[in-house]
Amino acid sequence: MSIQSVNPATGEVIETLEPTSAAQVEQIVAGVHAAFREWRTQPWSRRSALMHKAAAELRARQSEYAAIMTREMGKPIVQSEAEVEKCAVTCDYYAEHAEAFLAEQTRETDASRSYVRFDPLGVVLAVMPWNFPFWQVFRFAAPALMAGDAGVLKHASNVPRCALAIEEVFRRAGFPSGLFRTVLADAQVVKGLIADPRIVAATLTGSERAGRAVAEQAGRQIKKTVLELGGSDPFVVLADADLDVAAKGAAEGRLVNSGQSCIASKRFIVVDAVADRFLERFREELASRRMGDPTSRDTQVGPQARVDLRDELHQQVAESVKRGARTLLGGEVPAGRGAFYPPTLLSMVDRGMPAFDEETFGPVAAVIRAKDEGDAIRLANDSSFGLGASLWTRDLARAERLAAEVEAGAVFVNGVVKSDPRLPFGGIKRSGYGRELSEYGIREFVNVKSVWIR
């Protein structure tokens, strides 16, 4: 079956590509494994120089790569350009810090000398999603390659040109031929790749369903995995918050990438004392955002990545309304071509509604009232997910105390949750396990080896 790249803003087929054949997959894996055996011996200076070149390549072709993203998954062009730059920043970051992150660590024991070293693990399979088609890959690839590992990328089937472009970045930067390769295939190829003895580990960013499948398959092979799955991030507004600033942050946090982000704010938990005022400001902010052609620099909300995803999102909204939620903005599928869905605001949301219980992967904001601070934290934690969370209050001492109580992999105070190469990124509960980015991310796919010398 061929792989199609479809423009979600128009529904038009951009191009049709042939999937990687079984023989080609074998050739790719063999080549990556051979490249790893040489790459693992290369000095830090060479790895660093090439990773800096990858950053330069991203910046030199920023417009080209951004346009590919916008065409294939509908990301507003300004956000696509920012994504390319973020990838470049991360390449530079690991080029500069990887050696220190993986430096030998001396330990005092009964030996004359003992220490911990971090050795490359091998070829890692990366199963990546479409929503941040460059960033999700580079936040794995930059640390993995700097650690001395190699990578095979199985990207989402609706962004094949992005997948090939990423492979091209490393090739143009001068990395060894075959060190990082793309396989164009459906999800069925993943099981075989995980079973291949030359693949030593897997990382996945995606749905809970996909995460379960990869974890199960890797578990059978006793192979390491890192999973970054869904989220239903709480955005907690306390009584002393600056409501104007919080409302702007709420709109930004909900509508980034047209709402298609694991760490997008999704459940807006507001204490009763300020709920009405916050709702009014939040509605105004959402209504002011421009939805339209993602190639226009004025567009702030583009289409959803696929029509079927848009329709699933609308069904979640309709079912929540059926169960008692109120629609204050949006909530209707617009006429015309494309997978568009407008910024939507729901109030009176409660447990038992899809807008509370499930991840809404699109521009839908669910507002939930809390009696007080304690009730707000209870509601924030009343979720099977635990990726990110944000707290809005003027009392920073209170914020730090409450941050310890929030069940999430990251808590941002008076700011929108975001990923940053300097901070570890990942979740708990059904949001997955393991960490990406920072020194914690680069140590996920290495052999943490103890050396004891008498």
Question: Known catalytic residues?
Answer: 228, 262
Closest of 191, 390, 148, 370 to residue 271, by C-alpha: 370
How far is the C-alpha of 121 from the C-alpha of 74, rounded, in Å? 36
3-state secondary structure of 174: coil
Instruction: Check the CA dihedral 171-173-175-180 and report its sign.
Output: negative
Number of residues in the chain: 454
* Main-chain phi, psi angles of 83, to 5 degrees: -65, -40
Q: How far is CA 371 from the centre of its chain?
A: 33
How far is the C-alpha of 311 from the C-alpha of 293, rounded, in Å? 19
How far is the C-alpha of 99 from the C-alpha of 104, rounded, in Å? 10
Closest of 135, 132, 126, 122 to residue 32, by C-alpha: 122
How far is the C-alpha of 111 from the C-alpha of 454, rounded, in Å? 5
Contact (CB, 8 A) for 439 and 146:
no
How far is the C-alpha of 134 from the C-alpha of 147, rounded, in Å? 20
Contact (CB, 8 A) for 305 and 311:
no
How far is the C-alpha of 253 from the C-alpha of 108, rounded, in Å? 47
Query: Cα separations (Å) of 295 from 4, 71, 81, 87, 362?
Result: 20, 8, 11, 20, 19
Instruction: Return the bridge partners of 391, or none.
Output: 236, 413
Beta strands in 311-363 (DSSP E): 326-329, 344-347
Query: Cα separations (Å) of 158 from 3, 230, 268, 347, 447?
Result: 8, 19, 31, 33, 34
3-state secondary structure of 349: coil
Q: Where are the alpha helices (DSSP H) in 104-177?
A: 135-146, 160-173
